[in-house]
Structure 1
Amino acid sequence: MLEKLKVALGDHDLATMVAGDNRQIGLVRRDCQDLGISKVTAVADAYHEVKSQQSISGVWCYDNFTERGSNSAGVVKSDAYTVERDCIIWPVNHYLGLNRHPTVVDAASKALQQFGTGCGTSAMSGGHCSLHKQAEKRLASWLGKEAALLFPTGYSANVGAISGLAKGPSCFVLFDRECHASIIDGIKLSGAKFLPFRHNDISDLARKLDRYAGQYENVFVVVESIYSMSGEESRLQAICDLKSQHDFLLFVDEAHSFGLHPERTLCRKLGLTDHVDFVMTTLSKSTAAIGGVVATSHAFKTFVQVEANAYLFQAAIPPADVAAIIAAMDVIEETPHLLQSLWSKVSYMRGKLRDLGLDIGQGTSPIIPVFIRDSDTLLRMGQDMFHEGIFTTSVAYPVVKHSEVRFRFILNESHSYEQIDRTVGLLEKLGRRYGVIT
């Protein structure tokens, strides 16, 4: 493979670099471009060589998968490590553990028998059934808006709605630098002018509104209520306060807060829903199914129905998943102790990690990052954790900056205190071994 790569790239130094100790696979394409190599077949060979070397070293993590198990524990297989392990599982976003709840599973099973396995076409072409309409009405109420529009996934909800809304040169979009890739992709597809503002920096947002907003007829500000890589809350009150000085439409992604508060969303908890023009969420997390939704006014719902290609040309959510969403909402309403249990565990785990001196950032949510700051250390610790029965996500460049690489632990209500203690204990042992804890 290495000889093939040398021939394909025509550069021995590059071949040596990508096959050596440089384990940042996200840098490969940039490194190729820096050396004037843009032919995709050559870059693909470079990627695959790095993957091969990382697999030999035991740090390749893109192909890990669960064989069987629950939200919090199960058998994980790794193509890189060529083994399987009984693991405590930390990358799953089913915050309330409802994907195996008997009420949810039973509702999905009954819908499967009644409606079959899929819709076969888009919503615009008649792919929705009565369950979809029931879910849209229910979700609009939960999100505090007049109307809601279902998309097949949360990713396509952001891409479709944003690219449809902010279309063309009359539009300008400002977005928090830590926004999800689906938001950024939607902005790029829109054709609008756009700029990021520094993460949670209201002064930077205000400066950019002052400088640019008056030049455009339509201005959008896009943020997440809880940021997916850090678990930090957006400064929603301060952003809404800016609306008294600037004419802009506010789009808030509630993916990581939906269903996790008695008020259902962080916007509603803070009393800000009326100041937010578009509330989006995914349905694959607290409601443990698949899909996305954008809630807004009746007029804007019609606008998005007509303008969003991801709605017009993508097959709708299968009815069984819609039934699971509705059932999950029932369970959340009827068993408030699930929320209490989740937040108690969040406080417990965050406290134990903080007491060790580990850097977990400024977040408050069930998304708990552990910053490692060095990519090689991150991958080596990840390898050791897997072999000792802890499976989590190593977040490296290009997802985050080189100086901000981290593990991301997603706490579910189904995690036990014993599992939390075991995980924290291993982090302490490895943290001291690798110098992360001094």
Structure 2
Amino acid sequence: MNPFLKALDEIKAQHSFREIQPYEHDGVFVRWGDGEPMLNLASNDYLGLQILWRDRIAEFLDHKSREGAFLSSSSSRLLSGDFPIFSQLESLIAKLYGKDCLLFNSGYHANVGMIQSLSKLSNVLFLIDEYAHASVFDGIALSRARFKRFAHNDMQALESLLAHYYNQYDNLIIVAEGLYSMDGDFAPVAKLVALKKRYDKTYIYLDEAHSIGVCGDEGLGRAKELGMSESIDFLILTFGKAISSVGACVVCTSEVKHYCVNTARSLIYSTALPPLNIAFSAYVFASLSQLAPYRIHLRALSSELKRELNACEKNYHILGEAHILSLVVGSNDRALALAKHLRAHKIFAPAIRYPSVPKESARVRICLNAALEPTHIHALIEAVRGANI
């Protein structure tokens, strides 16, 4: 039998089969082919900039086209691809955080490159929250780094690892996320910082992919909101979600930046992003402090939805502390059934299944954004109430 067909049959038998489907969307609604528009609750454009900023984006593109903005860098930054806008964005972010900054092409590039780079340090051990993004574990696998997982947000388990391995390693790096993409809960940043202070030669690596732009009065992420960004050694910010652009960066010391320029393969061997995209990221970062009304609206939507879902008395468990909420139903087939029911009510909220989440924790994940209105939340709640899953 064709080995690829056999493997695909096994994936389908586990209700884990995925397909890429071309679609049209405007930020609030999504449509596949000739189908009817559905409310889009799968977008990571958390501030809704692609729709709320439609006029501003058009003005930005018009201005850049008259400037003759480049649509490709055509080279690695270490060759001829380092346009001035790259350093300008790095300087802007560095000023916001009081540290230095190094750009990467995506959150995936940043995590793989940074983990691979840090693994070259002397006698290093990574201590990784079990729910950290797949790109972190891919970086571990590619670099063959030594690591230990700890139970999600379990600080007692983490401290046990720190105590056990403290005398065996020169460098201990704790890896966590500001806001976790599947459970929608925050890392206990204050406790992480306390552990770092208790165990010297320990560093904190915090991925703020889902919290940058959304958390804090200035939208600078969870660590900054808590006044603890100075204690984070490697702060990963990605631009493809609330920043509504593409790319990523690490906020770190100048020594770390220069070290990674010389060791991070995903930076060294990748063509840099188009200067046009970098310019738009800079435009959004410069505007983040002005977007407080979007963040307030998003928090209000999230609070209302969670309150109403908790009152539904359905056979599921609700996870989420912010704008990412999940209805955990258990098996892959139940998650698929709930997602299908919602689609029948013109709501697109995808089923997240094993192996993306642990077995028997399959769910429908709801990602809210600031372009939504209370009427959209009410439509979702009514659809969930009518589900017989």
Say whether 1:72 aligns with 2:22: no
Q: CA deviation at 1:141?
A: 2.8
Gap change, CA 1:178 and 1:229, over 3 Å in 2: same
Q: Does the aligned pair in 1 maintain the 2:8–2:17 contact within 8 Å? A: no
Q: Which of 99, 102, 106 lines up with 2:50 in the alignment?
A: 99
Give the Cα separation in 2 of the matches to 1:366 and 1:304: 33
- Separation in 1 of the partners of 2:144 and 2:13? 39
Specify which of 273, 277, 291 is matched with residue 233 of structure 2: 277
Q: 2:91 aligns with which of 118, 137, 155?
A: 137
Contact kept? 2:78, 2:268, Cα under 8 Å: yes
1:411 maps to which residue? 368
Query: Mapping of 1:74-93 within 5 angstroms?
Result: 74-77=30-33, 84-93=35-44
1:343 aligns with 2:299: yes
CA gap of 1:110–1:52, structure 2 versus 1, over 3 A, is farther
Q: CA deviation at 1:381?
A: 2.1
> How far did residue 364 of structure 1 move?
1.2
Q: Contact 2:123 / 2:169 at 8 angstroms: preserved in 1?
A: yes
1:241 counterpart = 2:194: yes
Aligned-residue offset at 1:211? 0.7
Work out whether residues 175 and 206 of structure 2, in 8 Å CA contact, stay in contact via their aligned partners in 1: yes
Q: Which residue of 1 aligns with 2:5?
A: 45
**Larger CA deviation: 353-362 vs 91-100:** 353-362
SS at match of 2:23: strand
Q: Does 1:334 align with 2:290?
A: yes
Who is 2:169 aligned against?
216
| 1:417-436 map, 5 Å | 417-430=374-387, 433-434=388-389
Mapped contact 2:129–2:151 kept (Cα < 8 A): yes
Q: Could you tell me whether the CA contact under 8 Å between 2:72 and 2:275 is conserved in 1?
A: yes
Residues 215-258 of structure 1 show CA distances to partners (whole Å, capped at 9, x for unaligned) of: 11121111001111111000111111011221211110011111
Is 2:358 aligned against 1:401? yes
SS of the aligned residue for 1:364 comes to: coil
Q: Find the counterpart in structure 2 of residue 363 from structure 1.
A: 320
Match of 2:253 in 1: 297
The 3 A distance-change label for structure 1 pair 300 and 169 is: closer
Instruction: Work out the CA distance in 1 between the residues paired with 2:383 and 2:116.
Output: 44
Q: Distance in 1 between matches of 2:22 and 2:284?
A: 25
Taking the aligned partners of 2:12 and 2:242, their CA distance within structure 1 comes to 36
Distance 1:262-1:251 versus aligned 2 partners, 3 A rule? same
Unaligned runs of 5+ in 2: none
CA distance in 2: counterparts of 1:349 and 1:94, whole angstroms: 18
Answer whether contact 2:323 2:368 (CA < 8 A) is retained.
Answer: yes
Aligned partner letter, 1:96: L
Encode CA deviations 1:387-437: one digit per residue, 9 max, x unaligned.
33111221111111122110111000011211111111111111xx12xxx
Q: Quick check: 1:148 aligned with 2:105?
A: no
Displacement of 1:115 in angstroms is: 2.4
**Match of 1:369, SS?**
strand
Q: SS of the residue aligned with 2:320?
A: coil
Q: Return the letter of the residue paired with 2:231.
A: H
**In 2, Cα distance between equivalents of 1:322 and 1:106:** 16
In structure 2, give the amino acid aligned to 1:99. Q
Distance 1:108 1:165, change over 3 A: farther
Q: Corresponding residue for 1:20?
A: none
Residue in 1 aligned with 2:223? 267
Deviations 1:67-110 (A, max 9, x none): 2x211113234xxxxx6231001111001111241223432453
Gap change, CA 1:105 and 1:318, over 3 Å in 2: farther
String of CA shifts for 1:101-138, please: whole Å, max 9, x gaps.
12234324533552221111111113121221111111
The aligned residue for residue 199 of structure 1 is: 152
| Greater helix proportion | 1
- The alpha-carbon deviation at position 329 of structure 1 amounts to 2.4
Q: Secondary structure at the match of 1:250?
A: strand
- Partner Cα distance (2:128, 2:135) in 1: 12
1:174 paired residue number: 127
Runs of 5+ consecutive residues of structure 1 not aligned to the other structure: 1-7, 9-40, 78-82
Give the equivalent residue in structure 2 for 1:26. Answer: none
Q: CA deviation at 1:267?
A: 0.5
Structure 1 SS opposite 2:38: strand
Alpha-carbon distance, 1:190 to partner: 2.6
Q: Alignment partner of 1:244: what SS? A: helix
- 1:318 has 2:318 as partner: no
1:12 paired residue number: none
Whether 2:335 is the aligned partner of 1:378: answer yes
Alpha-carbon contact 1:280-1:293 (below 8 Å) kept:
yes
Q: CA deviation at 1:162?
A: 1.4
Q: Residue 220 of structure 1 aligns to a residue in which SS?
A: strand
Q: 1:112 to 1:243 in 2, by over 3 A?
A: same
2:261 is aligned with 1:308: no
Normalized against structure 2, the TM-score is what? 0.92
The residue identity in structure 2 corresponding to 1:88 is: L
Identity of aligned residues (%): 24
Cα distance, 1:345 vs structure 2: 0.9
Quick one: distance in 1 between partners of 2:62 and 2:141? 39
1:272 shift after superposition: 1.1
Matched, 1:165 2:118: yes
Aligned length: 382
